[in-house]
Amino acid sequence: MTALEPRSHASTTGSGAVRTGGFRSVVHDYVALTKPRIIELLLVTTFPVMFLAERGFPPAWLVAATLVGGTLSASSANTLNCYLDRDIDKVMHRTSNRPLVTGAITPRAALVFGIVLGALSVVWLGLLVNWLSAALSLGAIVLYVGFYTMLLKRRTSQNIVWGGVAGCMPVLIGWSAVTNKVEWPAVVLFLVVFFWTPPHYWPLSMRFKEDYAAAHVPMLPVVAKDLAVARQVVLYTWATVAASLALVPVASMGWLYLVVAVVSGALFLVEAHRLLSRARASADAKALRAMRLFHYSISYLTLLFLGVAIDPLLHLSL
């Protein structure tokens, strides 16, 4: 799972030497390594699931501990991703100002920072939440860093499909934090995020496919025509909406969630089909307006999981 990140303000001199900055500048650079916008999306799926698992308000300390642990875990994975992809980031215009590219942070420092964050996340969740959540957190880091970044990203156009499993893990972490187990409602929500990831990420890849092509990263929009990508986006969007509706019988959801899922899902489908229509009508990348779907996909996920959180609190039985 990803989001369009603000570009770092770190910079270098013409000779490549790093411009020195104060403490705030250093903190800013390390925070940039963690990709805060992506972490926001991950927490959007963690927090609401805890309300559904509890069927009410979970203890505040448990929510806080889980969110802190999840933030540390995601920060670790994102930092290690930046470390491994620094050669790609240097080529791509969208990522060319990241701290490892500009030299604001050294590769060794980033590697140590990422490993320490990962270790802290596991210990934190294990001691303050439970060891199942800690294990799932570690699994998420391994999947994102090892499975997606190292194995899939540079080798297959389906990288984001299977690599996206890492972005689904916060759902399981949130559920297990409350119940100390993984149950069917959590699995259904896992599938929602899994199917949602391609129609979220591929429009972004369509917008920046020249960047990915220059970096020799075989994202689907790089190796396939826009029309073929748009068809895949539509299929995955239908699968996302179907999975969201499957939660109704599995978790005994009420009218509030059902209305949110139907309305937001219908809009998601409309935007996906509009992208397909534009892909049929034009070969011009600008005319595709792919980022329209990218931005709505974030709103969709936020609205859906807001419904997940509120439905148990204001439950209106079907």
Per-residue pLDDT tens, the chain, 318 aa: give them. Answer: 554 443 434 344 333 344 456 889 999 999 999 999 999 989 999 999 999 999 999 999 999 999 999 999 999 999 999 999 999 999 999 899 999 999 999 999 999 999 999 999 999 999 999 999 999 999 999 999 999 999 999 999 999 999 999 999 999 999 999 999 999 999 999 999 999 999 999 999 999 999 999 999 999 999 999 999 999 999 999 999 999 999 999 999 999 999 999 999 999 999 999 999 999 997 677 789 999 999 999 999 999 999 999 999 999 999
- Nearest CA to 48 out of 67, 73, 69 is that of 67
pLDDT at residue 214 in the model: 94
- Nearest CA to 101 out of 88, 115, 116 is that of 88
pLDDT at residue 22 in the model: 84
d(CA 64, CA 180): 16
d(CA 134, CA 45): 17
d(CA 171, CA 192): 10
End-to-end CA distance of the chain: 32
- Nearest CA to 310 out of 259, 238, 240, 242 is that of 259
Where helices occur in the chain by DSSP H, the ranges are 23-33, 36-54, 60-84, 86-91, 99-102, 107-128, 131-142, 159-163, 165-179, 184-207, 209-214, 220-223, 226-250, 255-281, 285-288, 290-310
pLDDT at residue 284 in the model: 77
pLDDT at residue 282 in the model: 79
pLDDT at residue 188 in the model: 98
**Helices 107-128 and 23-33: crossing angle, nearest 10°?**
70
pLDDT at residue 285 in the model: 74
- The dihedrals phi and psi of 181, each to the nearest 5 degrees, come to -160, 170
SS3 209: helix
Where on the phi/psi map is residue 61: left (φ > 0), alpha (ψ -120 to 50), or beta?
Answer: alpha
pLDDT at residue 73 in the model: 97
DSSP 2: -
- Partnered with residue 12 across adjacent β-strands are 18
pLDDT at residue 6 in the model: 39
The Cβ of residue 221 has, within 10 Å, a number of other Cβ atoms equal to: 29
